[in-house]
Chain A
Amino acid sequence: GENVEQHPSTLSVQEGDSAVIKCTYSDSASNYFPWYKQELGKRPQLIIDIRSNVGEKKDQRIAVTLNKTAKHFSLHITETQPEDSAVYFCAASKSGGGADGLTFGKGTHLIIQP
């Protein structure tokens, strides 16, 4: 089955700096790659996603890049703010119809230092 590796497990950055979280996946048939943000005790919230026919996607301060050849994708957060502090999860799935579930990475605890 699919295996998703996520690094780093903890990332501490100064407020205003950029943060980058990286993930690799094993199944070349995977075609959908979402990123979720989870605050303590709450549900994961989708923040951005990318499909395999796109190399990069941006939404304000957040961007995701995908390298299908290398089977890795990354989350980039620019101009970090205190409210960006949370655990971030990458995930992958390969069903065109959306039936299969997501395989998640183990998460990155992002800490924004004031």
Chain B
Amino acid sequence: SQTIHQWPATLVQPVGSPLSLECTVEGTSNPNLYWYRQAAGRGLQLLFYSVGIGQISSEVPQNLSASRPQDRQFILSSKKLLLSDSGFYLCAWTGGSQVQYFGAGTRLSVL
């Protein structure tokens, strides 16, 4: 069966520091991969999606970037974090259908 791993679970970073969040999917090949952000008490906002290695689509201009160096690996990065980058970051994947499955999420606090 397919599983999605996301780490770390919790992260506290100072303003201006870099960020790297990683997501990997097991048990499937060529998944579509997604990064979402959820601000406290709010809905989910799509940040990036990828349909293949090296293919990244950005939905919202911001202080973040994404990369897909391997088929089942999706990385969310920032060179310098802002206070407004705090939130709950969720990775998700789909296979042949539109059904999306989410990772456990990373709770990022920028102080």
State whether B44 touches A104 (Cβ < 8 A): yes
Partner of A98, one of B43, B97, B102: B97
Shortest Cβ distance from residue B6 to the other chain A in the assembled complex, whole angstroms: 9
Neighbouring B residues of A100 by C-beta, 8 Å: 49
Size category, A interface: 20 to 34
State whether B34 touches A101 (Cβ < 8 A): yes
Complex CA gap A42/B102 in Å reads: 10
Contact residues of A between 88 and 114, Cβ < 8 Å to B: 89, 91, 93, 95, 98-107
Interface of A is mostly: loop
State whether B98 touches A44 (Cβ < 8 A): no
Complex CA gap A106/B45 in Å reads: 10
Complex CA gap A65/B36 in Å reads: 26
Shortest Cβ distance from residue B108 to the other chain A in the assembled complex, whole angstroms: 14
Contact residues of B between 1 and 40, Cβ < 8 Å to A: 32, 34, 36
State whether A98 touches B94 (Cβ < 8 A): yes
Which B residues lie at the A interface, using CB under 8 A? 32, 34, 36, 42-46, 49, 51, 59, 90, 92, 94-105, 107
Known: A43-B104, A98-B98; 20 extra A-B contacts, CB below 8 A, are A43-B90, A43-B102, A43-B105, A44-B44, A46-B100, A49-B99, A89-B43, A98-B94, A98-B99, A99-B32, A99-B51, A101-B36, A101-B100, A102-B46, A102-B100, A103-B46, A104-B43, A104-B44, A106-B42, A106-B43
Cβ contacts A to B, 14 pairs, < 8 Å? A6-B43, A43-B103, A43-B104, A43-B105, A46-B101, A89-B43, A89-B44, A98-B97, A98-B98, A99-B32, A101-B46, A101-B100, A102-B100, A104-B44
